[in-house]
Amino acid sequence: MRQNFTPHKEQRDRKTSFIVKGDNKLFEFVLSKMGGMSKTAVKSLLSKKQISVNDKIITQYDYPLTEGDKVEIDFVKRKALQSAKLSILYEDNYIIVVNKSEGLLTTATDKQEDTTAFRIIMNHLKQQDKNNHLYIVHRLDRETSGVLIFAKDKETQKKLQENWHDIVLEKIYYALVEGVVQEESGTIHSWLKEEPKSKNVYSFDYDNGGMESFTDYKIVRTFQNHTLLEVNLRTGRKNQIRVHLQSIGHPIVGDKKYGGSVSPIGRIGLHAARITLRHPATNKIVTFEAPVPEKIMKFREQRPLKDK
């Protein structure tokens, strides 16, 4: 069946967009709208992430289109991000989501270190278009790996930061901790306060003017001397998970700052695995996931005592 559409030209030498006015599949739709373009060429555009639907990059050939969808084709080949320290999980016109490796700062400190997640992504975006920008939304500790979100414009950054606790619906971490946790699940509730000189954060079980904080956890796997936990961060305070787990006598492996000893996996055992939020532009609920590193997920001290 013939599909009607309304074409819009945006930066004719770079992008073309169409508004869909009938149900279709993405591959067939693009093939029919691009004149003499071959099937191979359309497949190449999809595989190289040069086609988006409603500002979300799509690579799925049979992605379903409905009336009102905007299909945009960017004819400028995007250069893949070349970095061993992070990878792009998701990108659209408003946000970019990456999987950050442990040992990498989110952004520069007072020491102005060159290698940061912000600098790597900013350099990547500038290679595509010198007018591109990048803005910090939140941070992960240097030692923590996992999902990290940046904004591409000031308005999106402001919306995310000012409404973070309403926009973010879930933040899930995996933590490998010392000792055997006895409770199958639980909630740690305390007030966290940073000591100005040392910059260390301390947990108090009473309100002393600190930040009230909640951390939920449940056991994933138990070993002879360690426990793998799934942690739901209900409030996002500095070093919250690290301090809270130390406060119940189970510091994260390798976290010497907060009570941990030498790590059996060669890194701190903390990973930001999943974040679910309302997209700041579309208001749709989206989830971004970064695979749990094998060093954490497949840790083998010895035969596990039990799995959950």
Tell me the per-residue pLDDT of 88-99, one tens digit each, with 9 for 90 and over.
898 888 999 999
Q: Is the pLDDT of residue 271 over 90?
A: yes
| pLDDT score of 252 | 97
- Residue 201, in any domain of the structure: yes
For residue 251, give both structure tokens: 């510091």
Q: Is the pLDDT of residue 5 over 70?
A: no
| pLDDT score of 9 | 34
| pLDDT score of 161 | 95
What is the three-state SS of the chain? CCCCEEEEEECCCCEEEEEECCCEEHHHHHHHHCCCCCHHHHHHHHHCCCEEECCEECCCCCCEECCCCEEEEECCCCCCCCCCCEEEEEEECCEEEEEECCCCECCCCCCCCCCEHHHHHHHHHHHHCCCCCCEECCCCCCCCEEEEEEECCHHHHHHHHHCHHHHEEEEEEEEEEECCCCCCEEEEEEEEEECCCCCCEEEECCCCCCEEEEEEEEEEEECCCEEEEEEEECCCCCCHHHHHHHHCCCCECCCHHHCCCCCCCCCCCEEEEEEEEECCCCCCEEEEECCCCHHHHCCCCCCCCEEC
| pLDDT score of 184 | 95
- Residue 257, in any domain of the structure: yes
Q: Is the pLDDT of residue 6 over 80?
A: no
| pLDDT score of 136 | 96
> Do 152 and 291 lie in a common domain?
yes
Q: Bin 59: left if φ > 0, else alpha if -120 < ψ < 50, else beta.
A: alpha
The mean per-residue pLDDT over the stretch 138-143 comes to: 92
Ordered strands of the 70-74 beta sheet: 5-10, 15-20, 70-74, 51-53, 56-57
The mean per-residue pLDDT over the stretch 272-297 comes to: 93
Q: Is the pLDDT of residue 134 over 70?
A: yes
| pLDDT score of 1 | 34
| pLDDT score of 77 | 64
> Do 58 and 158 lie in a common domain?
no
Q: State the pTM of this model.
A: 0.74
The mean per-residue pLDDT over the stretch 123-127 comes to: 88
> Do 42 and 121 lie in a common domain?
no
Tell which of 74, 99, 128 closes a domain: 74
- Residue 196, in any domain of the structure: yes
Give the CA distances from residue 139 to residues 98, 145, 146, 183, 242, in Å, rounded to whole numbers and listed in that order: 12, 11, 11, 30, 15
The mean per-residue pLDDT over the stretch 268-277 comes to: 96
Average pLDDT, the chain: 87
Q: Is the pLDDT of residue 15 over 80?
A: no
| C-beta atoms surrounding 115 within 10 Å | 12
Give me the CATH number covering residue 265. Answer: 3.30.2350.10
- Residue 112, in any domain of the structure: yes
More confident residue, 92 or 306: 92
| pLDDT score of 306 | 60
Q: Sorting pLDDT into bands at 50, 70 and 90, what band is 10?
A: very low
- Residue 81, in any domain of the structure: no
> Do 196 and 129 lie in a common domain?
yes
Tell which of 74, 97, 115 closes a domain: 74
Question: Which of the residues are catalytic?
Answer: 141
| 53-84 per-position pLDDT tens digit | 998 888 888 999 999 999 998 876 666 777 88
Boundaries of domain holding 68:
5-74
Domain count across the chain: 2
> Do 50 and 170 lie in a common domain?
no
> Do 137 and 63 lie in a common domain?
no
Q: Do β-strands 211-222 and 226-233 pair in parallel, antiparallel, or remain unpaired? A: antiparallel
- Residue 79, in any domain of the structure: no
Give me the CATH number covering residue 28. Answer: 3.10.290.10
| pLDDT score of 4 | 34
- Residue 80, in any domain of the structure: no
> Do 269 and 125 lie in a common domain?
yes
> Do 302 and 248 lie in a common domain?
yes
| 229-243 per-position pLDDT tens digit | 999 999 989 899 999
| pLDDT score of 305 | 55
| C-beta atoms surrounding 262 within 10 Å | 8
> What percentage of the chain reaches a pLDDT higher than 70?
90
Closest CA relative to residue 171, chosen from 139, 207, 211, 205: 139
> Do 60 and 107 lie in a common domain?
no
> Do 95 and 235 lie in a common domain?
yes
More confident residue, 172 or 75: 172
The mean per-residue pLDDT over the stretch 13-38 comes to: 83
d(CA 168, CA 160): 9
For residue 20, give both structure tokens: 């869909």
| pLDDT score of 8 | 34
> Do 11 and 140 lie in a common domain?
no
Tell which of 21, 54, 74 closes a domain: 74
- Residue 51, in any domain of the structure: yes
d(CA 223, CA 305): 6
> Do 171 and 38 lie in a common domain?
no
